[in-house]
Amino acid sequence: MSYQIVIQPSGHVIQVEPGETILDAALREGFSLPYGCRNGSCGVCKGKIIQGKVDYGRYNEETLSKEDIEAGDALFCSASPLSDLIIECHEISAIKDIEIKTLPCRVEKLELVAPDVMVIFLKLPANQRLQFLAGQYIDILLKDGKRRSFSIANAPQDDEFLQLHARNYPGGVFTEHVFTTMKVKDMLRFRGPLGSFFLRDTPGNGPIIFLASGTGFAPIKSILEYVFFQERTRENKRKMILYWGARTKADLYLTDLPEQWQREHDNFTYVPVLSEPLESDHWEGGTGLVHQAVMRDFDDLSAYQVYACGTPLMVKAAYHDFTTQCGLPKDAFFSDVFTPSTSNA
């Protein structure tokens, strides 16, 4: 049986087919709700059930607690309606008109940029281009129906190749293949662009903090390169600071890039932070957890937007500490959480 959902505050109405989640139905009908992992782990799709009943589906209980459910929250990527519903969430207009495609692609180049980070360059068929917003990701479709999410690291204006930054997860179905057997000219298939991690406009042209851990740098690289491109003729540029955290110096890769951006753009600052620097690193930069480095530099984030990407622990701690201790408005925090894909196979 299909159900009807009214999305508040927009008043948009969608029909949900049997077995569909709220998010799938909304995306199918062209309404863009925020989402990230689509497997009940990251919490980006959390919204309110104002009226009606849902099956909450499969989700991580740390992401949706009993208290959240009692307060009316649900994860729209996992929840399916059991009646007509009224839900509340913030719709995003910018991605609505971008077509999500399934495309073949060819591995053009593989570049090992850190002991466990491979940059993969993918070439699309000659007559195809992928339209995407800087910060979005694609799902690599594996032969057995599994999918693995990777952020697009190149900016949309620089789309000769799609660039992915893949970290090697020991035992990882896809990444172990990337690091051991993948070759130039191998064919892959992917679906995208996906996700809602992209730059929002702010009326006051306010400052931005980007927070990355490990390969969380990938979508932030795309966003920054896009902003630099857009702003090349603009006088009034937004102040942007990138805090990039890794364990040791060897884990920070392609660092020439942010260093070059800092030299070329007065409005950009780069702060690398190591959590476990080696003696041989001779590290004189920031140490500790990357979000705590931000808090050492700023006690008031009320005028900022924060874009955080990387490990679930980092993103969760940053959201919690920035919104409770530094006055960051909850709706000024945007994130993509690199959750393992294994739970959605």
Ligand X SMILES: Cc1cc2nc3c(=O)[nH]c(=O)nc-3n(C[C@H](O)[C@H](O)[C@H](O)COP(=O)(O)OP(=O)(O)OC[C@H]3O[C@@H](n4cnc5c(N)ncnc54)[C@H](O)[C@@H]3O)c2cc1C
Which position's Cβ is nearest ligand X? 172
Q: How far is the CB of 120 from ligand X (least distance, A)?
A: 10
Q: Check binding of 136 to ligand FES (CB under 6 A).
A: no
- Structure letter (DSSP) for residue 262: H
CA distance 120 to 139: 14
Q: How far is the CB of 62 from ligand FES (least distance, A)?
A: 11
Q: How far is the CB of 171 from ligand X (least distance, A)?
A: 5
Question: Between 18 and 37, how does the x/- string for binding to ligand FES read (CB under 6 A)?
Answer: -----------------xxx
* Choice between 47 and 192, CB closer to ligand X: 192
Query: At a CB cut-off of 8 Å and minimum separation 6, what does 58 contact?
Result: 39, 40, 78, 343
* Count of other CB atoms within 10 angstroms of residue 256: 8
Q: How far is the CB of 4 from ligand X (least distance, A)?
A: 29
Whose tokens are 């690289």? That residue is 221
Which one of ligand FES, ligand X, none interacts with residue 35, CB within 5 to 8 A by kind? ligand FES
Q: How far is the CB of 116 from ligand X (least distance, A)?
A: 9
Q: How far apart are the first and last CA of the chain?
A: 27
Which one of ligand FES, ligand X, none interacts with residue 275, CB within 5 to 8 A by kind? none
CA distance 142 to 283: 40
Question: Between 77 and 116, how does the x/- string for binding to ligand FES read (CB under 6 A)?
Answer: x---------------------------------------
Q: Residue 142 corresponds to which tokens in the numbers above?
A: 């594996």
Whose tokens are 């099956």? That residue is 55
Return the sign of the alpha-carbon dihedral for residues 219, 220, 223, 229.
Answer: negative
In three-state secondary structure terms, 151 is strand
Strand 240-246 with 208-213, pairing:
parallel
Q: Between residue 208 and residue 267, which ones bind ligand X under the rule CB under 6 A?
A: 215, 218
Q: Which of 14, 38, 139, 216 binds ligand FES (CB under 6 A)?
A: 38
* Choice between 165 and 291, CB closer to ligand X: 165
Q: How far is the CB of 16 from ligand X (least distance, A)?
A: 23
Query: At a CB cut-off of 8 Å and minimum separation 6, what does 19 contact?
Result: 80
- Quick one: 22 exposed, middle or buried, by C-beta within 10 A (0-12, 13-18, 19+)? buried
Report in angstroms the alpha-carbon separations of 121 from 172, 217, 274: 20, 16, 27
* Choice between 37 and 318, CB closer to ligand FES: 37
Report in angstroms the alpha-carbon separations of 215 from 11, 67, 129, 160, 281: 38, 33, 24, 21, 20
Whose tokens are 């630099």? That residue is 228
Which one of ligand FES, ligand X, none interacts with residue 40, CB within 5 to 8 A by kind? ligand FES
Q: Which of 40, 47, 272, 286 binds ligand FES (CB under 6 A)?
A: 40
Q: How far is the CB of 92 from ligand FES (least distance, A)?
A: 13
**Which residue stretch of 38-46, 148-156, 168-176, 288-296 sits at the interface with ligand FES (rule: CB under 6 A)?**
38-46
Q: Check binding of 305 to ligand X (CB under 6 A).
A: no
Return the sign of the alpha-carbon dihedral for residues 125, 103, 99, 95.
Answer: negative
Q: Which of 5, 47, 54, 63 binds ligand FES (CB under 6 A)?
A: 63
135 close to 222: Cβ distance less than 8 angstroms: yes
Q: Which of 307, 333, 334, 338 binds ligand X (CB under 6 A)?
A: 338
Q: Catalog residues that contact ligand X under the rule CB under 6 A.
A: 36-37, 137, 148-151, 165-167, 169, 171-175, 195, 215, 218, 336, 338-342
Q: Catalog residues that contact ligand FES under the rule CB under 6 A.
A: 35-38, 40-45, 63, 75, 77
